[in-house]
C-alpha cells in the first residue's frame, strides 16, 4: 500500500511553498516511493548497527592557525540585498505585542 | 580525419611534450567542435573560451622554456557545474543558483588547474546532481551525442556528452548513486567513481554528504588513472578525505589480468536487464576469462535493498544540505515584498527548486521527521551495514566484482520523466557501491568500478590491502577494460546503436601510512 503522508505538514517543515498541483502530485509520488523504501524494515534486525559513513572518521581536528579570510566585498558579492557591510533581509520578528 | 579534439589526453600530452602541437592548437580544436555542435548536444551551461585561450597561451610560453609538463597540462577540461570555480558562474543547473559566482575554487579544480589543465566550460547536469537522465536541469536537457533523441544519462550527463562528442577531452563529474558511471555507460566513455574520500569534496556543492564522490569521464582508462593521480590525496579542507598523499594510478596499466579473481554479481542479472546489456556484459566476462582471469559467480544478497536504503539516506542528507538555500546570503531571493524572512524563504525555495529537488527534499524531510525517523532513516542505515558486509564477504574471494553498469542503454528523452520510480531504477547496480563507500568504478564499454574494502579496526587480521596491491588491481582492471573495448571512435564517423558497460568494483582501502611521490610538475 502506498504510504499516506500529510503533504502540508512536510512542506511546512521543509519550508517550501507548493502549488495545489504540486501537492497533489507529490502526495501520490512520495506515497509510492515510500512504499518501496519501507522494504528496509524487512531485513534490518535490531542487532545490526547503523552505518552513517562507510569510512568512519571521528573528531578530525587541526591546529588553530589563523588564515586570511574573504574580504568583505567578495563575501557580499552574491548577497541578494545589502546595507553597508551587512546582508539585508525582510524583518525577522513579529510586529507588535 | 581524426581531429585533435577526438584524441585521448595521453595522446595529446605526448604530442605536446614532443612539440608536435601547441596547447593553443589543441584548445582551438575543442572550442571549434563545441562551436559546431553544442547547440545540438547542450553539454555546456557556461563556456569559458577567453579564459581558456589565456591559459593555453601561458602554457605554450612555459612549455617553450623546456620545463616538464604534468600529464594534465594543456588538456581541454570540462567541469560539471557543481564544482565551484573562482569567478566563473556555478549553478548546479538550478534557478536558485542561476547567478551565483563563487569566490573560491573547489580543491578538485584547484589541483587540475595547478597542474596546467585548461577549463573550457561548466557542464549541464541534473539539478543539484539529482537524476539519471539530465532531464532535471533547470536549463534544458542534454542530448546523447550518439542519438540526440535519447538521454545521455545523469546526473553528470553534460560531462559525459562533452567527452563523447569531442567538446572536451575529459571532464569531472560527481557520483552519489551512479551519476558518473551511468552517463559514462550511456555515452560510451570511461567513467570512474573512486572510493569515498579519495578525492576531496571541498567546493563540491553538496547533495548527500556521506555518498558524494568526485569522478572522472574520459576516453580511455589511462586518462582516468592520470586524472585520479592528479586529484587524489588528503585535503585539510575536507575532514572526510582519506589520509595519504597522491598516488600514481597509472603504474601497472599493462600488467594484464592473468590470475585476477573476477566475481560476476549474480543479483545484477536477469529480470530488468535489457537482453543486449546482458549479452554485452557476458561477452566482456568471457573475454576477461580468455585473457586469464579466474571468473566465478559472486553474491551480494542484500543488494536488492540498496535502492530502498538509498532513497531514504540520500534524500535525508539532501533535505539537510539544501536547507542553506534560503534566499538570505547568496543565490535567488524571490521577488516582491515579503511579510517576513520566513515567508521569503518559503517563496524562494518554491520558486527556485525544480520538481525533482522538491521531491527529494520533501522525501528526506518526511523520513527524518518525528515518529518516522527510526522506521525509515534508522532502518536504512542498518541496511547500509548489511551491504558493506556483503562486499567484505565478496572481497574475501574476489579481487574484482563485475556487473552491468546500468540495466538499460540510453532511453528516449521524455520516456521516464513522469515515473520517478522507473527513473530511480536506472541506478540499481551502481548504488550499492556508494552505500558501501566502495572504490573506483569505471564505466566504459566496460566500466571499472574499483571498490576498495574498508579496513576493519575491530579485526586487525582483516586489515586493508597494501597500497601497492590496491593500485595494481585498479591498474589491471582498467588496462583490461582498455584492451577489451578500445577507445571509442569519433561520434561523427562511428555510430553504435547503443552503448552498454560492465561495471567493475574493486576492494580497496587507503591506509594512513601510504606514502607516494607527489607529481609536482608545473
Answer whether residue A44 shows pLDDT above 80: no
Across all residues in chain B, what is the average pLDDT?
83
For residue B513, name the pLDDT band (cuts at 50, 70, 90).
very low
Distance CA B454, CA B465 (A): 9
* B239: contact with A, CB 8 A cutoff: yes
Answer whether residue B68 shows pLDDT above 80: yes
Answer whether residue B186 shows pLDDT above 90: no
Averaged pLDDT, B486-503: 40
Of B332, B359, B384, the CB nearest to A51: B384
Helices (H), B333-378: 341-352, 355-368
| C-alpha B371 chain-centroid distance | 35
- Summarize pLDDT for B416-437 with one digit per residue, the tens: 998 998 899 888 888 888 888 7
Least confident range from B37-46, B206-215, B368-377, B468-477: namely B468-477
Residue with more model confidence, B493 or B209:
B209
For residue A23, name the pLDDT band (cuts at 50, 70, 90).
very high
Within 13 Å and on the Cβ side, how many CA atoms surround B511?
Answer: 17
pLDDT at residue number B458: 28
* B381: contact with A, CB 8 A cutoff: yes
Is the Cβ pair A17, B379 closer than 8 Å? no
Answer whether residue B210 shows pLDDT above 90: yes
Averaged pLDDT, B395-417: 87
pLDDT at residue number A83: 96
Averaged pLDDT, B352-363: 98
Answer whether residue B439 shows pLDDT above 80: no
pLDDT at residue number A71: 94
Structural domain boundaries in chain B: 4-299+398-506
For residue B446, name the pLDDT band (cuts at 50, 70, 90).
very low
Cα-based angle B274, B429, B6 (whole degrees, multiple of 5): 75
Q: Is B320 exposed, middle or buried (CB count within 10 Å of its CB: 0-12, 13-18, 19+)?
A: middle
pLDDT at residue number A8: 97
pLDDT at residue number B509: 32
pLDDT at residue number B462: 27
Residue with more model confidence, B488 or B238:
B238
CB pairs under 8 A between A and B: 179
Pairing state of beta strands B170-175 and B190-193? Answer: unpaired
In chain A, which residues have their Cβ closer than 8 Å to the Cβ of B339?
90
From B118, B137, B139, B135, select the one nearest B127 (Cα to Cα).
B137
pLDDT at residue number B483: 38
- Per-residue H/E/C for B405-453: CCCCCCCECCCCCCCHHHHHHHHCCCHHHHHHCCCCEEECCCEEECCCC
Answer whether residue B408 shows pLDDT above 90: no
From B75, B92, B83, B61, select the one nearest B29 (Cα to Cα).
B75
For residue A89, name the pLDDT band (cuts at 50, 70, 90).
very high
Answer whether residue B203 shows pLDDT above 80: yes
Residues of B belonging to the active site:
80, 155, 179
Cα-based angle B45, B51, B57 (whole degrees, multiple of 5): 140
pLDDT at residue number B477: 53
From B205, B33, B22, B11, select the one nearest B108 (Cα to Cα).
B205
For residue B27, name the pLDDT band (cuts at 50, 70, 90).
very high
> What stretch of H or E contains A37?
helix A20-37
Distance CA B350, CA A14 (A): 10
Is the Cβ pair A55, B366 closer than 8 Å? no
- Summarize pLDDT for B76-89 with one digit per residue, the tens: 999 999 999 999 99
| C-alpha B42 chain-centroid distance | 19
pLDDT at residue number B173: 98
Report yes or no: B67 and B522 within 8 Å, Cβ to Cβ.
yes
- In the stretch 318-357 of chain B, residues with CB closer than 8 A to chain A read 319, 323, 326-333, 337-347, 349-351, 353, 355
- Summarize pLDDT for B103-129 with one digit per residue, the tens: 999 999 999 999 999 999 999 999 999
For residue B491, name the pLDDT band (cuts at 50, 70, 90).
very low
Is the Cβ pair B311, A14 closer than 8 Å? no
Of B353, B362, B383, the CB nearest to A10: B362
Distance CA B284, CA B280 (A): 6
Cell of B290: 580468455
For residue B505, name the pLDDT band (cuts at 50, 70, 90).
low
Of A14, A55, A94, the CB nearest to B362: A14
Chain B residue closest to A29 (CA)? B420
In chain A, which residues have their Cβ closer than 8 Å to the Cβ of B345?
15
Is the Cβ pair A43, B362 closer than 8 Å? no
Distance CA B431, CA B436 (A): 9
Residue with more model confidence, B375 or B458:
B375
From B63, B42, B175, select the one nearest B121 (Cα to Cα).
B42
Distance CA B71, CA B64 (A): 16
Residue B40 DSSP symbol: H
Distance CA A7, CA A26 (A): 8
Report yes or no: B274 and B409 within 8 Å, Cβ to Cβ.
yes
Residue B513 DSSP symbol: T
Tell me the C-alpha to C-alpha distance, in Å, between residue B39 and each of B26, B36, B42, B457: 21, 8, 6, 53
Bond into A6 cis (ω within 30): no
Averaged pLDDT, B511-515: 24
Helices (H), B95-248: 107-114, 157-165, 181-187, 221-231
Cell of B1: 580525419
pLDDT at residue number B485: 36
> What stretch of H or E contains B261?
strand B261-265
- In A1-97 the beta strands, taken as DSSP E runs, fall at 82-83, 86-87
Least confident range from B61-70, B137-146, B147-156, B479-488: namely B479-488
Q: Match domain B4-299+398-506 to its CATH number in 3.30.9.10, 3.50.50.60, 3.90.1300.10, 3.40.1170.60.
A: 3.90.1300.10
Of B344, B346, B437, the CB nearest to A55: B437
Q: How far is B444 from chain A (nearest CA, A)?
A: 25
Answer whether residue B256 shows pLDDT above 90: no
Amino acid at each position: 500500500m502506498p504510504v499516506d503522508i500529510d503533504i502540508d505538514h512536510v512542506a511546512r517543515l521543509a519550508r517550501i511553498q507548493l502549488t495545489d498541483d504540486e501537492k497533489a502530485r507529490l502526495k501520490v509520488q512520495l506515497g509510492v516511493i515510500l512504499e518501496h523504501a519501507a522494504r528496509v524494515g524487512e531485513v534490518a534486525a535490531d542487532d545490526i548497527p547503523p552505518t552513517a559513513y562507510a569510512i568512519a572518521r571521528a573528531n578530525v581536528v587541526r591546529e588553530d592557525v589563523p588564515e586570511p579570510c574573504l574580504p568583505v566585498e567578495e563575501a557580499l558579492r552574491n548577497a541578494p540585498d545589502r546595507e553597508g557591510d551587512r546582508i539585508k533581509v525582510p524583518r525577522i520578528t513579529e510586529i507588535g505585542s | 580525419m581524426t581531429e585533435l579534439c577526438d584524441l585521448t589526453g595521453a595522446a595529446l600530452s605526448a604530442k605536446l611534450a614532443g612539440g608536435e602541437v601547441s596547447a593553443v592548437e589543441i584548445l582551438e580544436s575543442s572550442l571549434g567542435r563545441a562551436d559546431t555542435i553544442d547547440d545540438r548536444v547542450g553539454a555546456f551551461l557556461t563556456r569559458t573560451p577567453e579564459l581558456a585561450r589565456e591559459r593555453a597561451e601561458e602554457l605554450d610560453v612555459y612549455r617553450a622554456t623546456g620545463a616538464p609538463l604534468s600529464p594534465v597540462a594543456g588538456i581541454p577540461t570540462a567541469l560539471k557545474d557543481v564544482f565551484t570555480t573562482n569567478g566563473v558562474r556555478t549553478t548546479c543547473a538550478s534557478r536558485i543558483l542561476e547567478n551565483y559566482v563563487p569566490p573560491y575554487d573547489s580543491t578538485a579544480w584547484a589541483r587540475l588547474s595547478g597542474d596546467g589543465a585548461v577549463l573550457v566550460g561548466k557542464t549541464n547536469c541534473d539539478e543539484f546532481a539529482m537524476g539519471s537522465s539530465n532531464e532535471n536541469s533547470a536549463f534544458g536537457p542534454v542530448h546523447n551525442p550518439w542519438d540526440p533523441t535519447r538521454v545521455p544519462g545523469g546526473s553528470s550527463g553534460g560531462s559525459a556528452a562533452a567527452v563523447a562528442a569531442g567538446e572536451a577531452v575529459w571532464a569531472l563529474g560527481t557520483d552519489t548513486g551512479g551519476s558518473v558511471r551511468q552517463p559514462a555507460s550511456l555515452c560510451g566513455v570511461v567513467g570512474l567513481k573512486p572510493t569515498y574520500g579519495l578525492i576531496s569534496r571541498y567546493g563540491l556543492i553538496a547533495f548527500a554528504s556521506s555518498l558524494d564522490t568526485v569522478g572522472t569521464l574520459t576516453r580511455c582508462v589511462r586518462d582516468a588513472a592520470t586524472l585520479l593521480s592528479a586529484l587524489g590525496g588528503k585535503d585539510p579542507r575536507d575532514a572526510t578525505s582519506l589520509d595519504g598523499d597522491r598516488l600514481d594510478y597509472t603504474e601497472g596499466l599493462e600488467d594484464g589480468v592473468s590470475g585476477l579473481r573476477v566475481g560476476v554479481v549474480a543479483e545484477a542479472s536477469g529480470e530488468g536487464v535489457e537482453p543486449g546489456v546482458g549479452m554485452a556484459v557476458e561477452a566482456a566476462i568471457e573475454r576477461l576469462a580468455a585473457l586469464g582471469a579466474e571468473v566465478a559467480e559472486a553474491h551480494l544478497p542484500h543488494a536488492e535493498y540498496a535502492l530502498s536504503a538509498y532513497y531514504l539516506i540520500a534524500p535525508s542528507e539532501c533535505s539537510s544540505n539544501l536547507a542553506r538555500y534560503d534566499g538570505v546570503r547568496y543565490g535567488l531571493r524571490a521577488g516582491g515584498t515579503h511579510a517576513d524572512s520566513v515567508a521569503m524563504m518559503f517563496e524562494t525555495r518554491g520558486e527556485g527548486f525544480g520538481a525533482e529537488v522538491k521531491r527529494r527534499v520533501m522525501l528526506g524531510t518526511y523520513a527524518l521527521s518525528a515518529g518516522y525517523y527510526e522506521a525509515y532513516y534508522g532502518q536504512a542505515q542498518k541496511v547500509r551495514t548489511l551491504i558493506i558486509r556483503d562486499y567484505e564477504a565478496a572481497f574475501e574471494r574476489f579481487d574484482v566484482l563485475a556487473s552491468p553498469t546500468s540495466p538499460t542503454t540510453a532511453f528516449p528523452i521524455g520516456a521516464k520523466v513522469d515515473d520517478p520510480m522507473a527513473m530511480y531504477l536506472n541506478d540499481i547496480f551502481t548504488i550499492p557501491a556508494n552505500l558501501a563507500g566502495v572504490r573506483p568504478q569505471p564505466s566504459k564499454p566496460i566500466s571499472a568500478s574499483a571498490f576498495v574494502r574498508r579496513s576493519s579496526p575491530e579485526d586487525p587480521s582483516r586489515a586493508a590491502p597494501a597500497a601497492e596491491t590496491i593500485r595494481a588491481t585498479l591498474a589491471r582492471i582498467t588496462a583490461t577494460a582498455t584492451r577489451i573495448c578500445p577507445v571509442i571512435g569519433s561520434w561523427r564517423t562511428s555510430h553504435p546503436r547503443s552503448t552498454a558497460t560492465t561495471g567493475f568494483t574493486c576492494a580497496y582501502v587507503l591506509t594512513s601510512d601510504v606514502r607516494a611521490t607527489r607529481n609536482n610538475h608545473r
